[in-house]
Amino acid sequence: MKGCPAITVHKPRLVEKPPDPVGRKAPNPYGLHDMLGNVYEWCQDRWGEYEAAPVNDPCGPQEGSIRVMRGGSWLYHARYVRAASRDADSPGNRYDYLGFRLARGPAPSPVAEPRPRSGQ
């Protein structure tokens, strides 16, 4: 699409093959690899219907045992390979097309050593 950054996603295979090793595709503009189409990723959000009005970063209901997964996987059709596509499952279930992403904030700034004052 015109004006959109070029990104690479994993093409759904619809066959029994394992996920690709991490980092084989080019990173997205934020430097993150494999964000779409390799495996669905668990989200912290609980499953629920969206609010009627637009909301930034909806988290779902405060209670519930079903969690959201996003990003599509190699097992499903290409129409699901997008961050806005979401599905749900019980967190106790395990599948080879479902994983999670470890994330952390920026590294802390190093503590500057105090400089001696002039004349000391």
Q: Give the pLDDT confidence of 66-117 residue by residue, as tens digits.
A: 999 998 888 888 888 888 888 999 989 988 888 887 777 777 777 666 666 6
At residue 28 the predicted structure's pLDDT band, cuts being 50, 70 and 90, is: confident
Average pLDDT, the chain: 77
Give the per-residue pLDDT at 3: 45
Three-state SS sequence of 32-95: CCCCCCCCEEEEEEECCCCCCCCCCCCCCCCCCCCEEEECCCCCCCHHHCCCCCEEEECCCCCC
> Cβ contacts of residue 22 below 8 Å, gap of 6+?
33, 34, 38
pTM attached to this predicted model:
0.64
